[in-house]
Amino acid sequence: MRRPVTAGLDGFPESRTATHWAAHEALLCDAPLRLVHAWLLGSVTARQIPREDEQNLRATRLLADAEAELRERHPGLEITTELVPYEPEGALLAESEKALLLVLGSRGLSGVGGFLLGSTGLRLAAHAACPVALVRGAPGATPGAAGDVVAGVGTRHPADSVLAFAFDEAARRDATLRVVRADRRLPHPHRSASGGEGDAAAREELDAVLRPWRDKHPGVAVDARLVADSPGRAVVDAARDAALLVVGRHATGAARPHGIGPIAHASVHHAPCPVAVVPYD
């Protein structure tokens, strides 16, 4: 059975942008799309039953409207929907066990110009069993916009799952993959080594990490960069005109700062494009 791309749909208009992005991703992956709306009522008395029925009707209509909109735009896409009477975080964590990718939306900009991501979204990014894509953008924004795929990587402990995801995304999109390895200790601050500058040993390490993936994906153009900056700031800067930013987080996210690690934390709060957070061992 093919794993679906699963989108969490809530009552906010911005989540519609995420469902359209998820539909585009499902088509790229040749995967079905699954729309999930989760909500949890407290204890219900006899007097509250009409209110429960009204909320259930509203939730059902939300899913039906989203499905109809996506079927009209993508008539060949396989779409399923489910209304889950459970709290959203637990429901979506359970969905991540059987999903290819979990897609969540953003409410827009925070007061400091970053990604407005609630605690539920942050915990899902930290603990989901599959990669989580966090999609920002106003309702009606164009999903799957053209641009490079950017991946933040390390060389001491390279994460195969992160590189596999990034190369696959670049291949499916016919996009250039920009790989960023950042370290404050690198020479030539504010300059990349893609043009021959920088530390030769660091360049050799990065090339060695990328070599097997380049061999596996010979059709993907790779722009590998060494940046003398903090990793979080470097990947956010690199993603300013990108279609997607791919970062990793350790599978045991609870043991890391912010649950997802400082690089992923900076990315999901400040990158202007969709961000895929990929778990690795």
Question: Cβ neighbours of residue 130 under 8 Å, at least 6 residues apart?
Answer: 3, 96, 97, 99, 100, 101, 102, 279
245 located within any domain: yes
Segment 131-162, tens digit of pLDDT: 999 997 655 555 666 799 999 998 666 689 99
SS3 content of the chain, % helix, strand, coil (to 5): 40, 20, 40
Dihedral class, residue 166 (left if φ above 0, else alpha if ψ from -120 to 50, else beta): alpha
Number of domains in the chain: 2
**Beta-carbon count within 10 A of 76 CB:** 6
pLDDT at 44: 42
Residues in the chain with pLDDT values less than 70: 13, 40-53, 107-119, 137-145, 155-158, 187-198, 252-258
pLDDT at 85: 82
Domain boundary among 107, 135, 163: 135
Are residues 125 and 167 part of one domain? no
Q: 188: closest CA among 180, 196, 198, 179?
A: 198
144 located within any domain: no
The model's pTM:
0.87
Tokens standing for residue 189 = 């601050």
Alpha-carbon separation of residue 5 from 24, 29, 205, 226 (angstroms)? 10, 9, 34, 33
Tokens standing for residue 266 = 């900076």
Domain boundary among 135, 160, 193: 135
Task: Provide the mean pLDDT of the chain.
Answer: 83
pLDDT at 209: 93
Q: Are strands 132-135 and 275-280 parallel, antiparallel or unpaired?
A: antiparallel
Which CATH number belongs to the domain containing residue 87 in this structure? 3.40.50.620
Tokens standing for residue 84 = 């889950």
Domain boundary among 135, 162, 185: 135
d(CA 67, CA 32) in angstroms, rounded, equals 13
Give the domain range for residue 247.
Answer: 149-280
140 located within any domain: no
